[in-house]
Amino acid sequence: MIPKVKEAEGAVMRITLPRDFAKIRAVSGRVRRFLLKHRCSEQTRADIELALVEACNNAIQHAPSEGAPQPVIVEVWIGRTEIELRVIDHGPGFSWPGEIELPDPEKETGRGLYLIRRVMDSVRYERGAGKNALVLRRKRRRTLANGC
Amino acid sequence: MKVERVGDTVRVSAIARLAAADAKGFRESVMEQMRDGGKNIAIDLSQTTFIDSSGLGALVALRKAAIGQQGALRLLNPQPPVQQILELTRLDALFEIVNPGRT
């Protein structure tokens, strides 16, 4: 069981994303407006959008092709100093690589997880029976030392 | 998005986003013009506000296609959000990036 984010301590948004790449844009737009409403900076909004889009791409890509299509659940929690993103899918999941390196520059794929790791402060992948959650956290104010 | 061929250069402009939902169509319409006699590719990123790993993958593939025709791919005027992602993935070193407006 994946614990729910604590609503009492901040603002929470929960969105259901159908398994369709074309629907990601509307979800990321809603999350951006939610972040703006809670006075997150332009850099924070850009970083969260990138991590969210990459996490949704991943969840849709790894969804099982058989059986009834299960949507992806996106949860955003905005606290006083931190933001947490949860992207939950009901597929078989994938093994999270121990080290995430950039691929050869000529390669067309393999940059998604790297980008997530670079723009967020912590990344956790909880793989469960029939349910997986990618839990991403980022401080509202990041210093240059964090890499951005 | 606008794709046109001027001589042997395929020019792409008015690209709002280059994410997973857009990348395939983007790549296919440029490849179609390449098959019709294109050699170089010029991608105007001045209106592009967002790019993800799929969009980056499409750019890498198109660069390969241009080189395969003894041509080149140029990225024109990427705005800060896109430039930042090119730098994060170190693809700013792979692509020829042209900013005519800046000195």
Q: Which tens digit of pLDDT belongs to each residue from B29-67? A: 999 999 999 999 999 999 999 999 999 999 999 999 999
- Tell me the pLDDT tens digit for each residue of B65-81: 999 999 999 999 999 99
Summarize chain A as % helix, strand, coil (round to 5): 35, 25, 40
The C-alpha atoms of residue B9 and residue A32 are separated, in whole angstroms, by 36
Pick the residue from chain B with its C-alpha nearest to A56: B20
Q: Which of B54, B84, B85 is nearest residue A57 as measured by Cβ atoms?
A: B54
- Tell me the pLDDT tens digit for each residue of A29-77: 999 999 999 999 999 999 999 999 999 999 998 877 777 778 999 999 9
Residues on chain B touching A49 (C-beta within 8 angstroms): 50
Residues on chain B touching A29 (C-beta within 8 angstroms): none
- Tell me the pLDDT tens digit for each residue of A96-124: 888 899 999 999 999 999 999 999 999 99
ipTM field = 0.93
The per-residue pLDDT for A94 is 83
Structure tokens at A140: 């509202």
Is residue B8's pLDDT more than 70? yes
The per-residue pLDDT for B100 is 72
Q: In chain A, which among 36-95 make CB contacts under 8 A with chain B?
A: 46, 49-50, 53-54, 57, 60
The C-alpha atoms of residue B84 and residue B16 are separated, in whole angstroms, by 16
Task: Say whether A115 and B53 touch across the interface (CB within 8 A).
Answer: yes
The C-alpha atoms of residue B49 and residue B41 are separated, in whole angstroms, by 20
CB atoms within 10 A of CB A50: 26
Q: Which of B50, B56, B91 is nearest residue A49 as measured by Cβ atoms?
A: B50
The C-alpha atoms of residue B37 and residue B40 are separated, in whole angstroms, by 10
CB burial string A106-116: b at 16+ within 10 A, e below: eebeebbbbbb
The per-residue pLDDT for A147 is 41
Pick the residue from chain B with its C-alpha nearest to A60: B20
Q: Is residue B44 within 8 Å of B11, Cβ to Cβ?
A: yes
Give ∠ CA A41-A43-A48 in degrees, rounded to 5: 95
Q: Full-prediction pTM beyond 0.80?
A: yes
The per-residue pLDDT for A4 is 55
B80 contacts: CB under 8 Å, gap ≥ 6: none
**A26 phi/psi in degrees, rounded to 5:** -65, -40
Pick the residue from chain A with its C-alpha nearest to B94: A105
Is residue A148's pLDDT more than 60? no
The per-residue pLDDT for A92 is 84
A117: helix, strand or coil: helix
Distance in Å, alpha carbon of A68 to nearest chain B alpha carbon:
22
Task: Say whether B88 and A24 touch across the interface (CB within 8 A).
Answer: no
The per-residue pLDDT for A95 is 84
Structure tokens at B20: 């997973």
